[in-house]
Each structure stands twice: as C-alpha cells, then as structure tokens.
Amino acid sequence: MNLPTEVRYRPYKDWTKEERETISNHVASSPWHTSYHLEPNTGLLNDPNGFSYFNGKFQLFYQNWPFGAAHGLKQWVHTESDDLVHFTETGVTLEPDNANDSHGAYSGSAYQVGDKLFLFYTGNVRDENWVRDPLQVGAWMDKDGNIEKFKEVLIQQPSDVTEHFRDPQIFDYKGQFYAIVGAQNLDKQGFIKLYKAVDNDVYNWELVGDLDFGGTGSEYMIECPNLVFVDGHPVLLYSPQGLDKSELNYDNIYPNTYKICQAFDTEKPALVEPSEIINLDYGFEAYATQGFNAPDGRVLSISWIGLPDVDYPTDRFDYQGAMSLVKELSIKNGKLYQYPVAAVADLRASQETFADKTETNNCYELELEIPANTKTELRLFADQDGKGLQLIIDTESGKVILDRSQAGEQYATEFGTRRECHLESGESATANIFVDNSVIEIFINKGEKVFTSRVFPLEGQNGIQLISGQASGSYFELKA
C-alpha cells in the first residue's frame, strides 16, 4: 500500500492508543487470517530475522512496520518456539530508536555468544536530505529478553558500495565467526562482502573480501544472502533483485534463489564450484529465506510468504505477509530438498481418505501419490461453479502447474497468474499440500520442488475437486 513518507516514518511514540486500536480492529476484521502460519500482530511482516537457537528455544524475529500494510519504519518483532511449529510473540522488539538505526532496524541474523544472543542487523540511517547511510550494527538479547544495543557501528559502508548494503548474516565456520553482507557496487551490480570477527570478537569485524560465488552481476542488488552448510556443502540462499531473465527463468517481481557449492575457501574468499543459479521456490511468493545450522544438526529455513513492492488484498485490513512453515534442508542426488520439519505432523487432527473429501475448512494437509504417466488435475479452494486454484501434476510430460486465475481475490496479476516447474518425467510423484485459509505450500516429492503462495479465497471457495487423472492418499484436518 502506498502511504506518504511522513506516515511511514512517523516515530512510534507519536501513534496514539486510539490509532493503534483502530489498526488492531481492522486487522481483526479480515476473513483471511491463517491458523498455523505466523502473521504479524499488526502491519506488515517481511523478512525472517535472527532465526537461531538460544536459551533452550528456537528464536525467530520478523521485520515489521506495525501501523499498516506498508514498508515504513521497520522493527524486529521477537517470537520463540519449542517445536518450530508454534511461534509465540514475547513482546520483545528491536525498535528503530537510536542514531544508528533511526530509519529502521533492517534485516539481519542472530547467534548465541556467551550467555547472550548477538543480533547483527542493518541500521538504516538517513540524513535530512534523505541520503542513506547503511550501518551494520549489533545488539545483545539476554535470557530475559532485555535488548542492549551496541554503541559502536560494527561495519561502515565501504567505498566501493552504494547505499545498498545490508542484511548481515553471522555464521560459525570451523569455530570462526564470519558474516556476509548483501551489497551493490558502484556499477549497480549485486555482490556479497565477506567479513570475519577478529579473535571471534563480535565487536571487531575485518573485511576478508568480495565473496566469489560465480555471480554475474546481472542483478542490481543481493538481498538477504545466507550461507548454510547442508550435508557438507555450502549452500548460498539469496534474493538477487533485478536478475536477468536470461540467467534464470522466474516470474515473481524478485526471485529467491540458491547455489549448491563444493567448498568454502575462506582465503580467496570463494564458494568453490558453485552450481548454476536455481529457483528456491516455484510459487507466487517466497522471499528472503533465512536458514541456519541448528545445534541439533538440522539445517532449518523459513521464508517470507510475500514480496517487496507488491500490494495484497489484506492491505485494506492494515496487515500483510506471513511466514512459511519451517523447512529442513537436505541434499539428495545433488539436489536441494526443502521439507517441513517433522513436528508439523503434530498439527494433524484427523485423517480421512482423500477421495471422500469434497468440502473443507481450508485448514488441512493433503498427502497424495500420483502414478507415473498420468496428468492429474486438482482444484483447491474450489467453489460450486467449478472455479478454484488449479494444480496440475503431470507425470507424463514432467510438469507441475499452479494457476490461481480462478481462485480468490486477484492481485499482482501483472506478474502472471500461473507458475510451473519441471519434473523428471516418467516417474510417479508425491505431493504434500498445506492449506491454511489464505496460504498454500506445496511440496512435490517430499521437497524436491516447492510452491509457496497466497490465495485469498472468496465466499464458498473451500472445496476440493479431482478434475482428471489419479491421486490417492489422505486428507488431514489440521489444528489451529
């Protein structure tokens, strides 16, 4: 939603109790709230931030402007979780309240250091002429949720970088802390800077160099670069804005992509033998995915189900955005798999045979098998007139197609209403489909291909229809 700059950057303290209540009431009146996906309390949710493990719990923050569905003065909102399925807001926020983050506490990461959680984020600072000074700054969060910001700036804007320099990710590689930061060079090409904490002191970051990951610079900015180590391979997750479509076919306004690499050379510095660039998700919206290597050995990731610069039907209810399910990453046959953590199965309340199910409450999981050499067409969010979200799983020609032109309130149609991806043909396929009122996450072959999307169903759009082909399996109603 377009709101004037004065509104979006109005100090938090100036918003009155009455104004806040009005916003909360608008949010509450939406018909599209999710049951088991995290949404903002009010306003806009964008990137996942600070996804980590600390104090016996998983920690997750989200980027938020709390006063409406727009990108305004951003804060981090803290949530925590025992099981990676239920996230609870704690009331802790990292607010843009000092000179080093005056125009927004932008995205970043977190890592336990000593007995505190170190938050590494971008302080978005602008001067009176609206000239931006992007600062990489830090804060501690203790076990009681007290936040203490560092006075010193940790990384200043380097001379070979424009104002687009943000989203530090701290990670531990062989006992040494490193950080990568997304950047734009003076020729307006996206790249990534690598830093290292001298003597592992998070107050003291030294530039290692520009991280060579085989990028071409066809993008104008790399947002939210994220390095995780999956089954021994460095995997770079990133959001290259403006990436040339000759390099990668994508339809969303900005893609969310990855590369699987063979090694991390900390000297050069380089990601050795990077794969080609691949779409992380084939749905209508998944962005700024953040992953981390959890202490229990799993590699966990979570995505913003939303995109920058796109308006959503919920905007008129003063909120926007949701978080995906938490996914576990693995590599099989050289391919990256993303599949919801096992605990998601705890949401299952009851099980029925898929074939018996025609009406739903739009809060369910389907677990389906599609035989080889069949073209199966399903309609979800279906209504009596045969309209609905079209999902084709074609194991004959090897394709999955998702078409939302006949489902829900239409938006962002300038980016097309259909998404598709390739599948190995001639083989059977499975689909795990999570529907949550206005969110759908589709996992083909247990996470080989993923489609994450919003659908904003209209009255009566809650059916399931098998239009053609064959699909067998189960319907699970899910608990809120």
135: left (phi over 0), alpha (psi -120 to 50) or beta: beta
Q: Which is nearer to ligand FRU, 47 or 318 (CB)?
A: 47
CB of 254 to ligand FRU, least distance (A): 8
Considering only CA atoms, give the Rg of the chain.
22
Question: What is d(CA 12, CA 3) in angstroms, rounded to the nearest whole number?
Answer: 16
In the complex, minimum distance from the CB of residue 259 to ligand FRU, in angstroms, rounded to a whole number = 19
Least distance in Å: CB of 287 to ligand FRU? 6
Closest distance to ligand FRU from the beta carbon of 154 (Å): 15
Q: Which is nearer to ligand FRU, 44 or 433 (CB)?
A: 44
Known catalytic residues are 47
- Residue 248 CA: distances (Å) to CA of 51, 255, 402: 28, 9, 19
Q: Write down the least CB distance from residue 146 to ligand FRU, Å.
A: 24
Query: What's the CA gap between 407 and 480, in Å, rounded?
Result: 23
Cite the DSSP H helix spans in 37-163.
none
Nearest-approach distance from CB 380 to ligand FRU, in angstroms: 28
Between residues 2 and 16, which has the closer beta carbon with respect to ligand FRU? 2
Q: Which is nearer to ligand FRU, 242 or 308 (CB)?
A: 308
Q: Which residues contact 345 (CB under 8 A, 6 or more apart)?
A: none
Q: Residue 214: how many CA atoms within 13 Å on its side-chain side? A: 18
Distance CA 166, CA 402 (A): 33
Measured from the CB atom, the residue of 213 and 364 that comes closer to ligand FRU is: 213
Q: What stretches of 60-142 show up as alpha helix (H) in DSSP?
A: none
Q: Which residues contact 283 (CB under 8 A, 6 or more apart)?
A: 402, 419, 440, 441, 442, 450, 451, 452, 453
Residue with tokens 């796109």: 310
Q: State which residue, 107 or 275, has the beta carbon closest to ligand FRU.
A: 107
Three-class DSSP category at 315: helix
Q: Is the dihedral of CA 378, 414, 311, 321 positive or negative?
A: positive
Query: How far is the C-alpha of 335 from the C-alpha of 446, rounded, in Å?
Result: 12
Q: Helices (H), strands (E): how many in the chain?
A: 2, 35
Please state, in angstroms and as integers, the Cα–Cα distance from residue 357 to each residue in 218, 361, 362, 455, following that order.
47, 11, 12, 20
* Cα 368 from chain centre: 25
**Closest approach of ligand FRU to the CB of residue 255, in Å:** 13
Task: Report helix, strand or coil for 342.
Answer: helix
- Compare residues 136 and 376 and give the one whose CB is closer to ligand FRU: 136
For residue 109, the minimal CB distance to ligand FRU (Å) is: 11
Q: Across the strands, what pairs with 208?
A: none
CB of 400 to ligand FRU, least distance (A): 26
The helix (run of H) or strand (run of E) holding residue 45 is strand 43-54
Complex with ligand FRU: residue 223 or 318, whichever CB lies closer: 223
For residues 217 and 308, which CB has a smaller minimum distance to ligand FRU in the complex?
308
- Cα distance between residue 336 and residue 259, in whole Å: 9
Cα-Cα-Cα-Cα torsion 418, 423, 426, 430, nearest 10 degrees, comes to: -90
Sites of contact with ligand FRU (CB under 6 A): 46-47, 63, 74, 106-107, 122, 166-167, 223-224, 288, 308
Sign of CA dihedral 401, 405, 410, 411: positive
